[in-house]
Structure 1
């Protein structure tokens, strides 16, 4: 028995298999045989399709942004504060030799 090499499937093929699984016209075993993939892989791709289906229609306007807005004034104030501390410490400690 020859060992099969690992295969990488293109996204279009995965979508085709997942859509066939979502339709439910055939069992997972029949689909796996038809597309020559393992039934667990068919189940995984179907789950990924169902999870990502909402993203097809765009982002939800009620969701929070992925990253919080950066407050530039606060960052500039912090930079100024740290600069003062560095200047004070370099003067208080004297030149290092």
Structure 2
């Protein structure tokens, strides 16, 4: 399976028309029919590059309230451990 970047590269080379399909097929080691398909897909999708409206930002996939709660829990735990280690002399006061 070929990467999207490779397909784009081959499709653009076909659109340029500087080489025949046979030459491109040999250069990229791909069947000429595949090159024609990628060229068509590239041309069909080109309008989308310039024509797409900016999408509304999607709702966050993560629940921010739960993240803030977790941050609070971890802050309390760190403060507690820092205090306990300082009292026991295991944590220097020069942090």
Task: Give me the TM-score of the superposition, normalised by structure 2.
Answer: 0.54
Deviation, 1:58, is: 2.9
1:36 aligns with 2:36: no
Match of 2:5 among 8, 12, 20: 12
How many correspondences in the alignment? 53
What is the rounded CA distance, in whole Å, between the counterparts of 1:28 and 1:56 in structure 2?
Answer: 26
SS of alignment partner, residue 22 of structure 2: helix
Q: Please identify which structure carries the higher helix content.
A: 2
1:50 aligns with 2:68: no
Q: Would you identify which runs of 4 or more consecutive aligned residues in structure 1 move more than 4 Å?
A: none
Deviation, 1:34, is: 0.1
Task: Give me the TM-score of the superposition, normalised by structure 1.
Answer: 0.53
1:1-97 alignment to 2 at 5 Å?
8-59=1-52
CA distances 1:25-67 after superposition (whole Å, capped 9, x unpaired): 000010000000000000000000000000011327xxxxxxx
| Cα RMSD, aligned residues only | 1.0
